[in-house]
């Protein structure tokens, strides 16, 4: 296999060719110890590919949530309650909400409030206000995107910050940027949790985040580059933010130097194998629906061409990688909201 990324030595860029041995390890192996052994090995270019999948990490979090809920039930005889507002008939949104509410069974209480596409913004805001004042509701989210006639920012800011399990309220965004404890958006939280639980080192590492959205790319960047000594510890990494309009050759120059690549631009197979450094960590946040040229059917692909697995030491597949972790972190946010509400006495 030929690696087209240059290796920098003494200021010179020298192309190199390296053979890579790829293996898939069982999740029975200790993730953290395996990671440290790989990172400490001098033979960094002969690496083992670890597929970061939902099988263990998401299940681990769900078990923790169930344990928390059981303890809360013993203490207060009440359970966390997640309410989801779904507007319109977008198939993707319906699919996402179905997965969220199905998983919310671990909490014991959940509900989906359906509204037609032609619902007015005023009606939607009135419903949100009603749910904000309902003491039974621990967590509240409005599934995005919304119809064009509704201002998404106004809707996100209408959800009470303490019930904002999506982490989209301006107060929670501000706290995140200031390294304060807050509700972290579920997808960035999922990426951060994957990194922490697999023992991937971020301190002083080069990270490229391909994607600048306010709900995904920006929060991920904030989590990774901020100070690990602060109230909400960060990753102390050097982060470069790119996006779908970054020229591909410029993006490649950055990714070839990256120890960690996080693809969240919403562009199918944006990151190809020749853009990945040997032994890098690759986390694919993209979920793109494309037509399979062989079958003509719609299939899901990520922002990473999965051929990159031959060079990466860690990689998340699509589907089955970040997605299940995102739902798990949403449930964790709901439990956190419930606990905070009880502490404050509301």
Q: Which residues, including other chains, have CB under 8 Å from residue 203's CB and lie 6 or more apart?
A: 228, 235, 236, 237
Of the residues 166, 179, 303, 305, which is catalytic? 166
**CB-CB neighbours of 246 under 10 Å:** 18
Distance CA 97, CA 276 (A): 34
Residue-level length of the chain: 346
Q: Which two tokens stand for residue 324?
A: 């299940």
CA gap 98, 79 in Å, rounded: 20
Tell me how far CA of residue 122 lies from CA of 4, 118, 153, 161, 220, in angstroms.
55, 11, 14, 19, 32
DSSP 344: H
Q: What is the secondary structure of 94-130 as a DSSP string?
A: HHHHHHHHHHGGGTSEEEEEEE-TT--HHHHHHHHHH
134 catalytic? Reply is no
Cα 71 to Cα 65, 339, 342, distances in angstroms: 10, 11, 13
Q: Is 277 a known active-site residue?
A: no
Distance CA 183, CA 175 (A): 9
Q: d(Cα 305, Cα 284) in Å, to the nearest integer?
A: 10
Distance CA 152, CA 194 (A): 29
Task: Give the chain's end-to-end CA distance (angstroms, integer).
Answer: 60
- In whole angstroms, how far apart are CA 86 and each of 83, 101, 130, 183? 10, 12, 15, 21
Pair 281, 200: CB distance under 8 Å? yes
Task: Clarify whether 166 is annotated catalytic.
Answer: yes
Beta-carbon contacts of 71 under 8 Å, excluding residues fewer than 6 positions away, are none
Residues with a catalytic annotation lie at 100, 143, 166
């Amino acid at each position: 296999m030929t690696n087209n990324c240059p290796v920098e030595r003494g200021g010179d860029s020298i192309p190199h060719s390296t053979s890579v041995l790829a293996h898939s390890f069982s999740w029975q192996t200790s993730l953290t110890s395996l990671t440290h052994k790989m990172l400490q090995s001098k033979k960094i270019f002969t690496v083992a590919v670890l597929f970061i999948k939902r099988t263990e990490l998401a299940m681990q979090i769900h078990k923790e949530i169930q344990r928390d809920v059981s303890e809360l039930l013993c203490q207060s005889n009440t359970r966390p309650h997640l309410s989801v507002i779904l507007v319109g008939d977008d198939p993707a949104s319906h699919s996402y909400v179905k997965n969220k509410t199905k998983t919310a069974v671990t909490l014991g209480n959940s509900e989906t409030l359906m509204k037609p596409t032609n619902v007015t913004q005023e009606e939607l805001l009135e419903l949100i206000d009603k749910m904000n004042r309902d003491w039974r509701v621990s967590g509240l989210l409005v599934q995005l995107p919304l119809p064009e006639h509704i201002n998404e920012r106004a809707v996100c800011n209408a959800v009470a910050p303490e019930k904002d399990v999506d982490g989209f309220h301006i107060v929670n965004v501000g706290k995140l940027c200031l390294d304060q404890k807050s509700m972290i958006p579920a997808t960035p939280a999922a990426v951060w949790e994957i990194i922490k639980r697999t023992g991937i080192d971020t301190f002083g590492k080069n990270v490229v985040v391909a994607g600048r959205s306010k709900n995904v790319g920006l929060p991920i960047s904030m989590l990774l580059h901020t100070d690990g000594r602060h109230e909400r510890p960060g990753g102390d990494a050097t982060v470069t933010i790119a996006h779908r309009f970054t020229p591909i050759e410029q993006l490649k120059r950055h990714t070839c130097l990256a120890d960690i690549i996080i693809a969240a631009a919403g562009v199918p197979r944006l990151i190809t194998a020749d853009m990945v450094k040997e032994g890098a960590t690759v986390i694919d946040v993209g979920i793109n629906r494309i037509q399979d040229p062989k079958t003509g059917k719609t299939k899901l692909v990520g922002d990473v061409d999965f051929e990159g697995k031959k060079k990466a030491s860690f990689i998340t597949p699509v589907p089955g990688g970040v997605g299940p972790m995102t739902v798990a972190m949403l449930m964790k946010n709901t439990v956190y909201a419930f606990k905070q509400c009880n502490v404050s006495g509301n």
